[in-house]
Every structure is written in structure tokens, then in C-alpha cells.
Amino acid sequence: MDAPTYVPGHGLLAGRTAVITAAAGAGIGGATARRFLEEGARIVIGDAHPRRTKETVEALAGEFGADRVDGTSCDVTDEAQVQALYDLAEQRHGGLDVVVNNAGLGGTAELTEMTDEQWDRVIDVTLNGTFRSTRAALRRMRAADRGGVIVNNASVLGWRAQAGQAHYAAAKAGVMALTRCAALEAAPHGIRINAVSPSLAMHPHLAKVTSPELLEELTAREAFGRHAEPWEIANVIVFLASEYSSYMTGETVSVSNQHA
């Protein structure tokens, strides 16, 4: 089955300010940044790669307007850099309405061969980074007292087993649990927190760190016989960030068509 036609924006996020982590490049974060702009949002992006962040901000600002695009390098394992990202959103736009915690790190290693450093690095970026960003966002959203939305990027590996992915799967399962617990704490303040759980969204970085044989095997598991485009995941993130999902919180939405 061929990929569907790209869906145009419908102004679902008009007038809102969104912070998106790991949003420079061709993955889900980059697709989300573009989709949010197409839906009328202002965005502030963070990414651990300074050069790529600068290039992405310049390109999007040239296309959508400099008043709607800001960004700074942000390593989510560094609390000071996380705070700086949110400071930028408040300085430029007076606050924030939506946060997308997209930053994550994968890798492949059998558990018996995995080092403490490999385990710790994946957990620190993928789970602890989501915690740091969520904590910063909630503190500011609660202080502003105008509600808000947080969308976390999990993975079907938070539910399903795959050899060589113990660290990544554990981190993503943690993101799902964090989403549920944080949502209960945030609900009295009118803040919703949900997550997306993609199966296989193809982008250059994934192709670079995954063998062609494994990608072929993973693709074969998909009912449509193809991988997702990053913008297809971003469409669901837009839904969760918009008022179309106003009654949802603490949920993890699977963006997948894997066979049962």
C-alpha cells in the first residue's frame, strides 16, 4: 500500500505556542514542527545538535515567518539547557500552550553485552529527558494558570518485545507510566498529558542505525506492508495537541498497523 496524500493544515493550533524537543532534522520531531506551523502554531524547537537546530530554524522561519519560529540547542540530559528552552518560549511568546517531548535515543545491544553506559545513556535521554521537560513545562503551565497540553513520544516497544532493545523498551514503557501519573497530577490545573506510540516511522537517522534486514523484517509486520511517514505520526500528535482530544488525558495512542 502506497503512502497516503499529505494532509493540509486546518488551523487546529492557531495562535498557540508549542515547544518541541529533538525537532531539527527529518524525523518525527521535524515533521511535528512543520505540521504545527501548518496548523497555525508558533513553535520553539530544541535539539541537541546546534548546527542542525540553527539550520532548521532558519529554513522554517524563511517559509513560515521569523515571528513564528524560534529555537535553541537543547540536550534534554542537561537541566540548564531544558530551562533555557522554556525561558526562550516565555521571552519570545509570553508563555507556552503545548509541549511535545520527542527527544529519545535508541541503539541495539543484547542484554548480556550491554554496558552500564549504554543503558544509562538511553534511559537518561529517553525517560529522564522526558521527565525533565515535563517537569519544567508543568511548573510553568501551572503558574500561568491557563491550561495546556503535553504530548510525549513513546513506542510500541513499551508494550512489545524486541531482542536487543531492553534499554529502549524499558525507557519507553517508563514514558508511558510517566504520562499516566503526570496526567493525574496535571488534571486539576486543566492540563492534559497524553502520548503517541509509533511502530515504524522511517527517517534517515533510523535507516542509519538499523540494518536493512531488520528494517525489512519490521516492515513485513505492518498490515499495510509499509512503514509510516514521520508526518503520519505528527498528524496524531496534532490531534492530541488540539481541542479535538479535549476529553483525553493519561492515554497512550498507538500509531501502528502491526498484525495482532
Question: Residue 6 catalytic?
Answer: no
Three-state SS at 123: helix
Catalytic one among 6, 86, 168, 247? 168
Cα distances (angstroms) measured from residue 235 to each of 28, 34, 138, 196: 10, 11, 24, 10
Nearest to 18 by CA among 59, 46, 51: 46
Q: If you search the block for the grid coordinates 545491544, which residue do you land on? A: 109
By 3-state DSSP, what share of the chain in percent is helix, strand and coil, each rounded to 5? 50, 15, 35
The three cell numbers of residue 51 are 548546527
Render 50-70 in DSSP notation, one character per residue.
HHHHHHHHHHHHHHH-GGGEE
Q: Edge to edge, what strands does the sheet with 148-153 contain?
A: 69-73, 42-47, 17-21, 98-101, 148-153, 191-198, 252-255
Query: What is the phi/psi pair of residue 147, to 5°?
Result: 75, -160
- The span from the CA of 32 to the CA of 236, in Å, is 10
Residues annotated catalytic, as ranges: 168
